[in-house]
Structure 1
Amino acid sequence: MASLAHAQPAPVSAGPAMRPLDRTVAILALLLLAAASLYAANVVSLKNGALVLVGSLLGVALYHAAFGFTGGWRAFVTERRSASLRAQLLLLALATVLMVPVIAAGEVLGRPVSGFVTPIGVPLLAGAFLFGLGMQLGGGCGSGTLFTVGGGSARMLVTLLAFIAGSMLGVAHAPAWSGLPSFGTFSLWQQFGVLPTLVLSLAALGGLAYLAARAEQRRTGKLVPLGWTDAATPRLLTGPWPLLWGAVALALLSLVTLLVAGHPWGITGAFALWGAKGLAALGVDVAAWDSWSGAGARAQLEGSLFAHPISAMDIGLILGAMLAASLAGRFGPKVDLRLGSLAAAVLGGLLMGYGARLSSGCNIGALLGGIASGSLHGWIWFGTAFLGSLVGIRLRPLFRLNG
Structure 2
Amino acid sequence: MAVSAETSRSHAKNRFAIVLAVLMAALILLDVGLDQGARKAALFSIGLAMGITLYASSFGFSGSWRAFLSEGHGAGLRGQMLMLAIACLLFFPAIEARELFGHRVGGFVAPVGLSVAVGAFLFGIGMQLGGACASGTLFTVGGGNSRMAITLLFFVIGSVAATHHLGWWLALPSFGPVSVIRIFGAWPALVMALALFGGIAALSVWIEHRKHGRLISHQRDGDALRHPLWRGAWPWIWGAIALALLNYATLALAGRPWGITSAFALWGAQGADTLGIPVGDWDYWQRRTGALSQNLLADTTSLMNFGIMIGALAAAGIAGKFSPGFRIGVRPAAAAVIGGLLLGYGARLAFGCNIGSFFSGTASGSLHGILWLACAGVGNLLALRLRPLFGL
Pairwise CA RMSD = 1.9
Could you tell me whether the CA contact under 8 Å between 1:266 and 1:369 is conserved in 2? Answer: yes
Residue matched to 1:375: 366
Could you tell me whether the CA contact under 8 Å between 1:48 and 1:306 is conserved in 2? Answer: no
| In 2: Cα distance, 1:292 partner to 1:252 partner | 32
Residue matched to 2:109: 117
Q: Deviations over 1:238-295 (max 9, x none)?
A: 41211111101111111101101110101111001111222334x425454314652x
Structure 2: gaps (5+ residues):
1-8
Could you tell me whether the CA contact under 8 Å between 1:152 and 1:333 is conserved in 2? Answer: yes
SS at match of 2:321: coil
Deviation at 1:299, TM superposition (A): 1.2
Q: Report the TM-score, using the length of structure 2 for normalisation.
A: 0.94
2:237 to 238, 244, 252: 244
Could you tell me whether the CA contact under 8 Å between 2:260 and 2:356 is conserved in 1? Answer: yes
**Which range moved further: 269-278 or 231-240?**
231-240
Could you tell me whether the CA contact under 8 Å between 1:371 and 1:379 is conserved in 2? Answer: yes
Deviation at 1:345, TM superposition (A): 0.3
Deviation at 1:348, TM superposition (A): 0.4
Q: Does 1:155 align with 2:147?
A: yes
Deviation at 1:174, TM superposition (A): 0.3
Structure 1: gaps (5+ residues):
1-16
| In 2: Cα distance, 1:390 partner to 1:195 partner | 34
Residue matched to 1:136: 128
| In 2: Cα distance, 1:140 partner to 1:340 partner | 16
Determine which structure has the larger helix proportion and give its number: 2
| In 2: Cα distance, 1:235 partner to 1:27 partner | 23
Matched pairs, number? 383
Q: Does 1:263 align with 2:250?
A: no
| In 2: Cα distance, 1:86 partner to 1:128 partner | 21
Q: Does 1:390 align with 2:361?
A: no
Residue matched to 1:330: 321
Among all aligned residue pairs of Structure 1 and Structure 2, give the percentage whose two residues are the same amino acid. Answer: 46
Q: Deviations over 1:127-184 (max 9, x none)?
A: 0100001111000001000000000000000000000000001111101112111111
Q: Does 1:203 align with 2:195?
A: yes
Cα distance change of structure 1 residues 18 and 262 upon mapping to structure 2, 3 Å threshold: farther
| In 1: Cα distance, 2:146 partner to 2:314 partner | 17
**Which range moved further: 22-31 or 314-323?**
22-31
Deviation at 1:45, TM superposition (A): 3.7
| In 1: Cα distance, 2:79 partner to 2:259 partner | 19
Deviation at 1:398, TM superposition (A): 1.2
| In 1: Cα distance, 2:120 partner to 2:223 partner | 38
| In 2: Cα distance, 1:33 partner to 1:284 partner | 32
| In 2: Cα distance, 1:205 partner to 1:57 partner | 25
Cα distance change of structure 1 residues 376 and 287 upon mapping to structure 2, 3 Å threshold: closer
Q: Does 1:194 align with 2:186?
A: yes
Could you tell me whether the CA contact under 8 Å between 2:75 and 2:221 is conserved in 1? Answer: no
2:72 to 64, 77, 80: 80
Cα distance change of structure 1 residues 360 and 74 upon mapping to structure 2, 3 Å threshold: same
Letter in 2 for 1:345: A
Q: Deviations over 1:301-331 (max 9, x none)?
A: 1121011111110000000000000000001
Q: Report the TM-score, using the length of structure 1 for normalisation.
A: 0.91
Residue matched to 1:11: none
Cα distance change of structure 1 residues 368 and 225 upon mapping to structure 2, 3 Å threshold: farther
Q: Does 1:19 align with 2:16?
A: no
Q: Does 1:35 align with 2:66?
A: no
SS at match of 1:223: coil
**Which range moved further: 283-292 or 340-349?**
283-292
SS at match of 1:144: helix
SS at match of 1:19: helix
Cα distance change of structure 1 residues 348 and 223 upon mapping to structure 2, 3 Å threshold: same
Deviation at 1:230, TM superposition (A): 6.8
| In 2: Cα distance, 1:166 partner to 1:293 partner | 15
Deviation at 1:43, TM superposition (A): 2.3
Could you tell me whether the CA contact under 8 Å between 1:65 and 1:246 is conserved in 2? Answer: yes
| In 2: Cα distance, 1:298 partner to 1:385 partner | 32
